[in-house]
Chain A
Amino acid sequence: QSVLTQPPSVSGAPGQRVTISCTGSSSNIGAGYDVHWYQQLPGTAPKLLIYGNSNRPSGVPDRFSGSKSGTSASLAITGLQAEDEADYYCQSYDSSLVGVFGGGTKLTVL
């Protein structure tokens, strides 16, 4: 059971917009800790996608965006492409200073 809750799967057709939610609690996201997102393509290591709730590292397309409100966060992907098919994980920290991840969301591009 992961500390942060994500939907197990989402799907969308090419060109569509999808969102992935990440729900925490008052001891992690709600305590003011930032939320970060990672993309894991099949058979590869995770890659940083969004940091500090809404910031994109260099090289990440602006089709990816993040937001945070209260005890939750979300990742939005617009203009869905076949190459976006991957697992997506949110991550934050807990007030006991342990890292916490969501259970992951598998994105299927129809």
Chain B
Amino acid sequence: QVQLVESGGGLVKPGGSLRLSCAASGFTFSDYYMSWIRQAPGKGLEWVSYISSSSSYTNYADSVKGRFTISRDNAKNSLYLQMNSLRAEDTAVYYCAREVGSDLYFDYWGQGTLVTVSS
């Protein structure tokens, strides 16, 4: 069955960096777009970034553009999110999600990893 398992979250100071990982299994990872979506405590969902199946295309929310970088390693069935210049408002649970590229929806989600930005 499809499984997405995020890791790498934790407590980081403002201005710091963190790299999130998402390990995928149960499907042909290289066939799918993948996305990161976050949810601040007690708030709604916010799309963060996507990457195409071959890494040819990426896009970012304005709120993270220039600070976050999405990448993937199809040989390792893994998705990554490099987060730099972190701010308090980046505090959230970060979910990786499999995207159905043709129809632009997220059919499987991981359990999420919490990132807390605080001094």
Contact = CB atoms under 8 A, between A and B. Distances in A.
Say which size band chain B's interface belongs to. Answer: 20 to 34
Identify whether the interface residues of B are mostly helix, strand, loop, or mixed: strand
A31 B111 CA distance: 32
A19 B87 CA distance: 37
Interface residues of A, number: 26
A36 B111 CA distance: 20
B21 to A, nearest CB: 16
Contacts of A92: 104
Given A89-B45, A93-B104, A45 B111 contact: yes
A45 B100 contact: no
Interface in B75-119: 95, 100, 103-112
A47 interface: yes
A103 B62 CA distance: 17
Contacts, number: 62
A89 B44 contact: yes
A98 B105 contact: no
Given A45-B110, A45-B112, A89-B45, A99 B103 contact: no
B29 interface: no
A51 B105 contact: yes
Nearest to A33: B104
B107 A45 contact: no
Nearest to A105: B44
B47 interface: yes
Interface string A40-66: 000011111001100001000000000
Contact of B61 (A2, A93, A98): A98
A17 to B, nearest CB: 24
11 contacts: A2-B44, A34-B103, A36-B104, A89-B44, A93-B104, A97-B59, A98-B47, A98-B59, A98-B62, A102-B44, A104-B45
* List of 9 A-B pairs having minimum Cβ-Cβ separation, nearest first: A99-B47, A36-B105, A104-B44, A45-B109, A101-B45, A51-B105, A103-B44, A93-B104, A48-B107
